[in-house]
A and B are shown apart, each in its own frame.
Chain A
Amino acid sequence: MAEILVLADHSGGEVKKVTLELLTLARSLGEPSAVVVGAGAGSTVDALAEYGARRVYVAEDAELDRHPVAPAAEVLVQLVGPHSPAAVLIASTADGKEIAARLAVRIDSGLITDAVQVDADLTATQSIFGGSVIVKSRVTRGTPVITVRPNSTAPEAAAGPCEREDLSISLSDGASRAVITNRVEEKHDARPELAEAAVVVSGGRGVGGADGFKVIEALADALGGAVGASRAATDAGWYPHQYQVGQTGKTVSPQLYVAAGISGAIQHRAGMQTSKNIVVINKDPEAPIFEVADFGVVGDLFSVVPQLTEEVVKRK
């Protein structure tokens, strides 16, 4: 069966959920091989095997963590040549898309980003223009490089035999030009990452201030979700910019998206419209966000959201 390379996303050896989704998807396209890069890479092998990786290429070298993006692309370049995989799948994150970009240039192959589905014949489905148009495309030159959005596939375990192959990688000059001199952790909460989260609870201008986000955070925590924000809220400095959802922020596609105090401007909807279930709380019955709501409540978020949080905790 054709080999499908899946670039594994991990943080210090802990595999990200999106990688398990990609392995699950890869099994419907061929035989998945995982590629894992950086410090802690070796300790991911068991988790990758459990989700169906038949082979794991391990490039465990702290030097590879000293440079952003380019090393992972180099590892993939060095594998694609000898193995001629049927496709390379990478998570559609900021880093993932840049890795895919460099890979596509190096192997002169077509690139499709932000796929929400990949069929057995490698036709990729994308949702564009803020979710209003569905496009099916195919790579017509080289080895298809496809980045897949988190939450596109439900991860399913499929343990089996797995071979580990350790790689030794020499970086090109270009790949080592940018050097990471310091890593600063700013995320203090234990919430899931916004782009990966199965549940996202977002607040907008209606939240009224930085303090108001406490009710949003409480609901997110009760549901085990991430917190998001509209641009009005991030512009006002109520919530950090990296949590902005929308056209110029993150695109999210969770199982459940809760929008509280958000009007639903087209630029906001562009980043959340493909969520599976959308729940809305807004004072204004005319707010356009209700057009995409599966369930909406016209009311004050400061009474509705805390009551909902209490109910969620009670029912758990």
Chain B
Amino acid sequence: MKIAVCVKQVPDTWAQKRLDPDDKTLDRESVDGVINELDEYAIEEALQLGEATSGEVVVITMGPDKASETVRKALAMGADSAIHVCDAALHGSDALATSLVLAKVIGDRGFDLAIFGSESTDARMSVIPAMVAERLGQAQLTFAGKVDVEGSTVKIRRIAEHGYDEVTASLPAVISVVEKINEPRYPSFKGIMAAKKKPVERLTLAEVGVPADQVGLAAVASAVESFESAPPRAAGTVVTDEGDGGVKIAEYLSSQKFI
């Protein structure tokens, strides 16, 4: 089986994220980049499915030069090769443009499965997997808490508010996985050494075959008009429990008309 796994580099969760005042995009240069934590579950799932079917796992990322660190980490975990789409014209791309590029790369290379994280911790949109499925006309099997492949059929548990749905489709399909579907492995020393020799294909937009006027800041379908720091929360009241802490909270709740 040929499996693609889409990973994104995001600012470290502890980093102070800021928007660039000039073009109002996330300033990715001034912060440390890490692999989107939720994508580690996608990589692990891809590796397990790849191992079970003697298949091939290809990492795909779209991002600036330094996203190559993230590619290396995925390769060190065990993926076979990587595709890194990197082009200055991509700066400022919105979800529509990102999904256009990813879908083109995935569609052109004929993967059986494309596996995604369920959300990027910077954009937090949770839309790319659905957009890619729509663009490819493939089955959308998202928010999977369990994935089983049997022959040319794939079955997932779609985790939902009410519990879960069992959803089935024929390959090829687009999957996103939720946190805790598995326990992502740590790269071993051997894996880290091996990753240095694994092939990474770097593609420009022209090589992908997407016109430059359909991506980046030039093509955004929504625009940030202004932004500001949220006003700090007014300092609250903090008391020490002297045996009546619960009563004190009840009084507060009653003053706010909750009870």
Contacts and interface: CB of A to CB of B under 8 A. Distances in A.
Contacts of B160: 94-95
A293 B250 CA distance: 15
Interface stretch (A30-38, A49-57, A204-212, A298-306): A298-306
A298 B169 contact: no
Interface residues on chain A, size class:
35 or more
Interface string B108-142: 00000000000101001111111101110111111
Closest 9 CB pairs of A and B: A299-B241, A307-B246, A186-B163, A110-B221, A311-B250, A308-B246, A101-B127, A177-B139, A110-B222
A127 B230 contact: yes
A255 B227 CA distance: 24
A288 to B, nearest CB: 13
A131 B259 CA distance: 27
Interface stretch (A40-48, A160-168, A241-249): A241-249
Contact of B237 (A142, A179, A296, A306): A296
Interface in A136-157: 136-142, 144
Interface residues of B, number: 82
Contacts of A184: 163-166
A67 B48 CA distance: 27
Given A179-B168, A303-B241, A256 B37 contact: no
Given A140-B223, A177-B169, A114 B135 contact: no
Interface string A112-152: 11100000000100011101111111111110100000000
Contacts of A128: 124
A234 B236 CA distance: 28
A129 to B, nearest CB: 5
B37 to A, nearest CB: 6
B44 to A, nearest CB: 15
Contact of A248 (B37, B128, B159, B259): B37
A277 B255 CA distance: 12
Nearest to A141: B221
Given A297-B241, A311-B246, A105 B233 contact: no
A100 B254 contact: no
Nearest to B13: A267
A93 B130 CA distance: 14
Nearest to A132: B230
10 contacts: A73-B134, A93-B161, A94-B126, A110-B96, A111-B95, A138-B225, A242-B161, A277-B256, A312-B250, A315-B250
B241 A133 contact: no
A179 B139 CA distance: 9
Nearest to A95: B160
A267 to B, nearest CB: 6
Interface of B: 13-14, 17-19, 37-38, 94-96, 99, 119, 121, 124-131, 133-135, 137-143, 155, 158-170, 173, 178-180, 220-230, 233-234, 236-241, 243-250, 252-254, 256, 258-259
Contacts of A223: 258-259
Given A248-B121, A267-B13, A290-B238, A98 B222 contact: no
B127 A113 contact: yes
Given A106-B134, A304-B245, A297 B167 contact: no
B97 to A, nearest CB: 11
Contact of B225 (A132, A137, A182): A137
Contacts of B141: 178
Given A140-B220, A242-B161, A315-B250, 14 more contacts: A68-B158, A73-B134, A98-B126, A101-B131, A104-B127, A133-B19, A136-B224, A136-B225, A174-B137, A179-B167, A181-B167, A234-B180, A247-B13, A248-B38
B158 A303 contact: no
A182 B138 CA distance: 21
A199 B259 CA distance: 12
A180 interface: yes
A37 to B, nearest CB: 16
Contacts of B130: 69, 97-98, 101-102
A123 B237 CA distance: 35
* Centre residue among A177, A199, A255 by max chain B CB count within 10 A: A177
A247 B236 CA distance: 24
B226 A136 contact: yes
A111 B237 CA distance: 40
B259 A312 contact: yes
Contact of B135 (A105, A132, A285, A308): A105
A14 interface: no
A36 B243 CA distance: 52
Interface string A264-294: 0011000000000111110001000011111
